[in-house]
Amino acid sequence: MKVKEIYVVEVIFRKNGEIKVNQECYEDKEKAIEFCKSRLNKEELELTEKAQKRGFASWFEFFSKDYYYKIKVLSLK
C-alpha cells in the first residue's frame, strides 16, 4: 500500500512566536510552495530564494518581514 503525503503550512508570527496552521492542505509539494511564495513580496522572495540556494534555508522555509512559513509533510495511512 502506497502512503499518501499531504503538505500543511505552518505560519509563525516572528514577533511573539505564535504558531498557526493554514486551513488548507495540499496534495502537491509545488502547490504548497506556490502558496508560501504568494505571501512574500518581491524582495522577501528574492532573499528567501538566495538563502535556499546557499543552503541557509531548506526548500520548506520561507521568510517575510513579519512571518515565517514552514511546510510540513504528513503521511496518510
10 C-beta neighbours (distance < 10 Å), count: 14
In this prediction the pTM is 0.88
26 C-beta neighbours (distance < 10 Å), count: 18
Residue 1 has pLDDT above 70, yes or no: no
Q: Where are the domains of the chain?
A: 4-76
Residue with cell 508560501: 36
pLDDT tens per residue, range 22-72 = 999 999 999 999 999 999 999 999 999 999 999 999 999 999 999 999 999
